[in-house]
Structure 1
Amino acid sequence: MRPVRFVALGDSLTEGVGDPVADGWRGWAALLAGGLREGAVDFTNLAVSGAQTHDVLERQLPAGLELRPDVVSVLIGVNDTLRRTFDIHAIAARLDKVYAAFTERRTVLLTACLPDPGRMLGLPGALARPLARRQRAVNTVVHALSERYGAVHLHAADEAWLTDRAMWSADRLHPGERGHRQLAVRFHGLLTQTGAAMGVPPSPEPEFAPPPRSASLLWLATAGTAWVVRRCNDLLPQLLRLAADEMRHRARGTSARLDLGAAHAVSAALAALAVAEPPMQADVA
C-alpha cells in the first residue's frame, strides 16, 4: 500500500509559526499528518509565511497538483485582509479555482474559517472593526465554497478558541504548540468521521514547555513589532482612513451601512461564481 499523500497550502499558520522545533517550525499540518494512517504518510508543506490567495493560486497550486495528493489543506486569507489591495471578488475567484482544481482530482480538501487579526492583536475598536469586517467576508466566502466543493471544513473562528490565551503564541496572531495541536486534533476528528483518517489522533498536550512571559514580551518588542510592520506596512494609511470612517458612522448611528456594504460585496462576489452564500456573522464591538 502506497503512503497517503498530504499536501498543505497556505501562509504562516500552516507553515507552523508559533510551534518551534529544533530545525524550524512544525505546526498543525505536520502534527495531523502522522494521524492520517498507521504507517507511511508522505507529507509536503508548501505554505509560506506572508502568503496571500494569489500566492496560493499562482505558486502553491501548481506545485501541489504535481504531487497528486490524497489530502490537501488550503488555509489562507488573513494576509489578504492586511493589505490595501483587499478585494473580496478577487479572493473568491482565486479560492474557487484552487478548490476546484483539487476536488476535480477527487482530493480530500481541508478548509477553515479563521479569526480576524484585529481582534487577536487587541487593536482599538475603530481599527479592529474594519479588519473584522474583512475577515468575516473571507470566512463567508470560504464557508460557501467549502460547501460547494464538499470540503472538510473546520470552524476555527469560534469564541472558545479565541479567548484561551494558552492556545496562542507571543505574537497573538499564531497558535502556540497547544493551539497547533488543537487544530490538528479537530481536523483529525472531522477526517475520522469521513473515513479519511485512520491513524492515532495527535496528542492535545504540548511536548514542550511554553516560553516564559519575559521571552514573549521580548519577542513582541523586537521581532514581533517588525513582523507586524512587514505584514501591515501598506495597509496602515488606508486603515486609518477606514477607522475615521468607522467613527463617523458610529457617531451618526449608521454603522449598519458599513456591514450592509460588506455583505453586498460578498453576495456579488459569490453571485459571479454562481454560489449561494450563508449569512455573514453579526459584528461584535
Structure 2
Amino acid sequence: MENQVLYIALGDSLTKGVGASAHERSFTASFFHGIKQTKDCRYINLGKSGRSSGELLQLLTDSKICDLLKRATHVTITIGGNDMIRAYQNNFNLSGIIRTIRTLKQNLEYILQSITDLNPDTHIFLMGLYNPGTSDHKLYKVATQLIRRINRIYEGTATQFGVNIIIPMDSFLNKPYLLADEVHPNDQGYKIITDLFLGNQRLQYLLPTKDDRV
C-alpha cells in the first residue's frame, strides 16, 4: 500500500455519513483511518445528500474534481439509491423502473470510465444497494428481488472496469436495528459497511492486477 494516501469519497448521503452520531463514525472516515499510513495522508469527502448517479456524473466534469481524482490513491463510490427512491416515488410503475435501471447502469459505466481514464492506477471501490425495508412491508419481496437484480448489474459493471465491489445487501436485509432512520445506517450499520470495505481492501492485494488479468 502507498505510504501517502489521497482518498476521495464520492457519492450520496451514505458517503456524507447521514445517520452516524458523528462524522468519525461514518464509513468514509473509518475507512480512511484503516488505510492511512502517515500523517501526510489526506481524505476528501465529496458526498452530498440526495445525489443521483446522473448528478455524480455531472460532478465529474468539474476540472477541480478531475485534478483531485488524477492524484487519488483510493476512491469510494456510493450511488444509485436516490435513483431508485425517485423511481419509487414516481408511482413505482414497471416501465419507469426499467428506464431507471437502464439509466443507472449507463451512468455507472460512464462514472467508472471517467475515473479510470483520469487515473488508471487508483483503487476504486463501488458499493451496491441494500433494502432498508422490513419483511412486513407490502413491497419487501419485490424490492428485495429488484435490488438483487440491480446489484448484479453493479457486480458486472465493476468486473468490466476491474474495480472492487462491495455488496451490503445481506448484511442489512431485514435488520432495522442497523438503521438510524428509514434509509440510513446508524453507527453499527456504518461499522458493518466499513468492515466490508476494509475486507475488500485487504483482499485486493491477493488478486492479480489489471495487467495480469486475461
Specify the TM-score bucket, using the shorter chain as the normaliser.
Answer: 0.7 to 0.9
Give the letter for the 2:6 counterpart: R
Name the residue aligned to 1:74.
Answer: 77
State the alpha-carbon separation in 1 of the partners of residues 80 and 7 from structure 2: 21
Matches of 2:176 and 2:145, distance apart in 1: 23
TM-score w.r.t. length of structure 2? 0.77
Query: Quick one: distance in 2 between partners of 1:37 and 1:25?
Result: 14
Aligned pairs (5 A) from 1:116-265: 116-117=131-132, 119-120=133-134, 124-125=137-138, 127-158=139-170, 160-169=171-180, 171-195=181-205
Matches within 5 A, 1:16-35: 16-21=17-22, 27-35=26-34
Post-superposition Cα deviations, 1:237-285, rounded to whole Å, max 9, x if no partner, equal xxxxxxxxxxxxxxxxxxxxxxxxxxxxxxxxxxxxxxxxxxxxxxxxx
Specify the code of the residue in structure 1 equivalent to 2:183. L
Q: Which amino acid aligns with 1:13?
A: L
CA contact (8 A) 1:78 1:116 kept: no
2:45 is the counterpart of 1:11 = no
Instruction: Supply the distance in 2 between the matched residues of 1:25 and 1:52 (Cα, whole angstroms).
Output: 24
Q: CA deviation at 1:7?
A: 0.7
* C-alpha distance in 2 between matches for 1:174 and 1:146: 24
Q: What's 1:41 paired with?
A: 41
Q: Name 1:92's counterpart in structure 2.
A: 105
Question: What's 1:241 paired with?
Answer: none
Deviation at 1:65, TM superposition (A): 2.3
Cα deviation digits, residues 34-91 of structure 1 (max 9, x gap):
1113213211111111111011100256354221311111111111111236522211
Percent identity for Structure 1 against Structure 2: 23
- What is the CA-CA distance between 1:167 and the residue it aligns to? 2.5
Q: Specify the code of the residue in structure 2 equivalent to 1:183.
A: I
Aligned residues: 189
Moved more, 12-21 or 61-70: 61-70
Read off the aligned partner of 1:172 and give its amino acid letter. Answer: E
* Native 8 Å contact 1:82 1:131 kept in 2: no
What SS does the aligned partner of 1:51 have? Answer: coil
Larger Rg belongs to: 1
Instruction: Summarize the Cα distance change of 1:45–1:194 in structure 2 as closer, same or farther, 3 Å threshold.
Output: same
Q: CA RMSD in A?
A: 2.5
Secondary structure (helix, strand or coil) at the match of 1:79 reads helix
Task: Quote the residue 2:211 is aligned against.
Answer: none
Cα contact 2:130–2:173 (8 A) shared by 1: yes
User: Cα–Cα, structure 1 residues 25 and 11, in superposed 2: closer, same or farther, change >3 Å?
Assistant: farther
Instruction: Look up the SS of the partner of 1:95 in the other structure.
Output: helix
Structure 1 counterpart SS, 2:111: helix
5+ residue gaps in structure 2?
A: 91-95, 207-214
Check 1:16–1:60 CA distance in 2 against 1; reply closer, same or farther (3 A cut): farther
Contact 2:5/2:41 (8 A) holds in 1: yes
Inter-partner Cα distance in structure 2 for 1:41 and 1:166: 34
Note if 1:112 corresponds to 2:111.
Answer: no
Counterpart Cα distance in 2 of 1:41 and 1:172: 34
Give the C-alpha shift of residue 191 in structure 1: 0.7
Aligned position for 1:245: none
Q: Is the 8 A contact 2:4 2:37 kept in 1?
A: no
Structure 2 counterpart SS, 1:34: helix
